[in-house]
Amino acid sequence: MYPIKFKPILKERLWGGTKLKTLFNKPIETDITGESWEVSAVKGDISVVANGEFKDKSLQELIDLYPNELLGKHVYERFGTDFPILIKFIDAREDLSIQVHPNDDLAKKRHNSFGKTEMWYVMQADPGAKLIVGFNKDVTKEEYQKHLTEGTLTDIMNYEEVSEGDTFFINTGKVHAIGGGIIIAEIQQTSDITYRVYDFNRKDKNGNLRELHTELALEAIDYQKKDDFKVSYSKSENTTNKMVDCPYFITHYLSLSEDFEKKIGAEDSFHIYMCVKGSGIVSDGKTELSINQGETVLFPAVCDTLQVKTSGIELLEVSL
C-alpha cells in the first residue's frame, strides 16, 4: 500500500460559499458549496481513490481487502471495518445553525451510529468572525427551552472571535456553531448525526424552514458552562506538536520550513495529513505525492516513514 489521495466529496449547503474553489482549487460548480469531505466512510458518501494502482476503488473496498495494512491492527480490533474518522474542509459564508451532537451511547441507542466528537482548526477567518462554543453561563433545561421558545437563544451562547491557527475541541453535548467568514479544517468521529436547535429562521431554496431537532437535542445537551474547548498547543518548527489526544483521534501540528522525516510505522495506525498552509511533497520513501493547501493524504498503517520535501508547509497529522 502507498500514500493515498481521495476525490473530494463536495456538499452544497445553504450557508456555503466559493472559497473552497478560490483558495483550494476544489472543483465546485455552485456558489453555495459548504463542505469538502476529504476522507469519508459515511454510508452513501464513501471516498474514492484518486491516485495509483487503487485508483477508483473506494475506501471501504480497501479496508475490506486490507484491514490490518490500512487501519493498523489495534484500530481494526477496535472498530472492525468501520473507518472511525471523517475529515472535512468547511467554508462558512454565513453562520451555520446552532447545533449539538449526541455521545456514543445516545447515538448508538437512537441511530446505531458513533457519536460525534470533533475538533476545528481555523484556516482563515474574516475580521471579526466568531464561533459559538457552549453557553456563557450555567443554564437549566427549562431556561434553555424558554430562550428557545422566545427566540433569544443567542443571548446565552458563548461567542469566540477567531483568527488563523485557533483550534477548538468540541466534545459531544456542547452546543456550537461555525460563524460566517470562517474556513475550518474539521476532524471528527465518523458520524453525520447532528441535532439542529436554532437556524436563525432561515429558509431553504424552496422557501421552507429547515428541520429542527428540538426534542432530540434536550437529552444530548450539556447545560453547564465549561471553558474546556480552546486548544493551546506549541507551534515549534520542524517537529511534531501535540494538539488533541482523545479516545477518538490524536492530532499533531507540523510547521515545516525545511525537509522533514519521521518514523510512523511503530504507531500501528493510519496517518492522515491535512495541508492547512503552504505546499510540499510527501512520501513514504517510495511513492511521492504533491500536497497543497486544502489537500489531504492518507498514509496506510503499513507505511513506515513520513518524508516531506518543502520550503514551507503546515500540516495537521491525524491518527488513532
User: For the domain that residue 297 is a member of, what is the CATH number?
Assistant: 2.60.120.10
- Provide the domain count of the chain: 2
Domain enclosing residue 214, as ranges? 4-220
Known catalytic membership, residue 210: no
285 and 149, same domain (yes or no) = no
Q: % helix / strand / coil in the chain, to the nearest 5?
A: 15, 40, 40
Percent of the chain's residues with pLDDT above 90? 90
Q: How confident is the model at residue 100 (pLDDT cuts 50, 70, 90)?
A: very high
Look at residue 227 and tell me if it is in a domain.
no
CB 268 within 8 A of CB 76: no
Look at residue 79 and tell me if it is in a domain.
yes
Q: Is 118 annotated as a binding residue?
A: yes
202 vs 131, residue with greater confidence: 131
User: What are the φ and ψ backbone dihedral angles of 35, each rounded to 5 degrees?
Assistant: -140, 145
Q: Pick the catalytic residue: 93, 196, 202, 210?
A: 196
Q: What is the pTM of this model?
A: 0.95
Q: How confident is the model at residue 104 (pLDDT cuts 50, 70, 90)?
A: confident
Mean pLDDT of the chain: 95
Q: Is 176 annotated as a binding residue?
A: yes
31 and 80, same domain (yes or no) = yes
Residues 6+ apart with CB under 8 A from 102: 110, 111, 115, 116, 172, 173, 193, 195, 216, 220
At 266 the pLDDT is 94
32 vs 214, residue with greater confidence: 32
pLDDT of residue 111 exceeding 90, the answer is no
Concatenated DSSP letters of 231-242: PP----BTS-EE
| H-helix segments, 128-205 | 141-150
Residues 6+ apart with CB under 8 A from 64: 81
**pLDDT, mean of residues 133-156:** 95
**pLDDT, mean of residues 134-141:** 96
CA distance 269 to 96: 33
112 and 147, same domain (yes or no) = yes
Look at residue 209 and tell me if it is in a domain.
yes
CB 172 within 8 A of CB 194: no
Percent of the chain's residues with pLDDT above 70? 100
At 191 the pLDDT is 84
Q: How far is CA 279 from CA 155, 187, 233, 256, 258, in A?
A: 42, 20, 22, 10, 11
Query: Cell for 118?
Result: 470533533
208 and 270, same domain (yes or no) = no
187 and 309, same domain (yes or no) = no
130 and 70, same domain (yes or no) = yes
At 115 the pLDDT is 85
At 201 the pLDDT is 83
**Per-residue model confidence as pLDDT tens digits over 149-196:** 999 999 999 999 999 999 999 999 999 999 999 999 999 998 878 899
Look at residue 231 and tell me if it is in a domain.
no
Query: Cell for 212?
Result: 429542527
Look at residue 230 and tell me if it is in a domain.
no
Q: How confident is the model at residue 208 (pLDDT cuts 50, 70, 90)?
A: confident
**Per-residue model confidence as pLDDT tens digits over 38-56:** 999 999 999 999 999 999 9
Determine the 3-state secondary structure of 64 from DSSP.
helix
Q: Is 101 annotated as a binding residue?
A: yes
